[in-house]
Chains A and B, each alone.
Chain A
Amino acid sequence: GAGVSQSPSNKVTEKGKDVELRCDPISGHTALYWYRQSLGQGLEFLIYFQGNSAPDKSGLPSDRFSAERTGGSVSTLTIQRTQQEDSAVYLCASSPDLNSGANVLTFGAGSRLTVL
Chain B
Amino acid sequence: GESVGLHLPTLSVQEGDNSIINCAYSNSASDYFIWYKQESGKGPQFIIDIRSNMDKRQGQRVTVLLNKTVKHLSLQIAATQPGDSAVYFCAEGGLESSYKLIFGSGTRLLVRP
- Chain A residues within CB distance 8 Å of chain B: 4, 33, 35, 41-45, 48, 50, 56, 91, 93, 98-99, 101-110
Residues of chain A with a CB closer than 8 A to B51's CB: 101-102
Q: How far is the CA of A106 from the CA of B93 in the complex (A)?
A: 16
Residues of chain B with a CB closer than 8 A to A107's CB: 36, 43-45
Q: How far is the CA of A43 from the CA of B44 in the complex (A)?
A: 10
Contact B32 A45 (CB under 8 A): no
Known pairs A42-B104, A42-B106; A103 contacts B99 (CB<8 A): yes
Residues of chain B with a CB closer than 8 A to A50's CB: 98
Q: How far is the CA of A35 from the CA of B38 in the complex (A)?
A: 14
Residues of chain A with a CB closer than 8 A to B98's CB: 50, 56, 98-99
Which are the 7 A-B pairs with shortest beta-carbon distances? A107-B43, A42-B105, A43-B103, A103-B99, A42-B103, A107-B44, A109-B43
Contact B95 A101 (CB under 8 A): yes
| 13 new A-B contacts at CB < 8 Å, known A91-B44, A99-B98, A103-B101 | A33-B101, A35-B103, A41-B105, A42-B104, A42-B106, A43-B91, A45-B100, A56-B100, A99-B99, A102-B32, A102-B49, A103-B99, A106-B46
Residues of chain A with a CB closer than 8 A to B34's CB: 103-104
Residues of chain B with a CB closer than 8 A to A93's CB: 43
Residues of chain B with a CB closer than 8 A to A105's CB: 44, 46, 101
User: What range describes how many residues of B lie at the interface?
Assistant: 20 to 34
Closest CB in chain B relative to A23 CB, distance in Å: 11
Does B113 sit within 8 A of A, measured CB to CB? Answer: no
Q: How far is the CA of A50 from the CA of B11 in the complex (A)?
A: 36
Q: How far is the CA of A4 from the CA of B10 in the complex (A)?
A: 29
| Cβ contacts B23-34/A at 8 Å (1 or 0 each) | 000000001101
Q: How far is the CA of A113 from the CA of B44 in the complex (A)?
A: 18
Residues 58-102 (chain B) with a chain A CB within 8 angstroms: 89, 91, 93, 95, 98-102
Q: How far is the CA of A105 from the CA of B47 in the complex (A)?
A: 11
Residues of chain B with a CB closer than 8 A to A91's CB: 43-44
Closest CB in chain A relative to B91 CB, distance in Å: 8
Residues 39-60 (chain B) with a chain A CB within 8 angstroms: 41-46, 49, 51
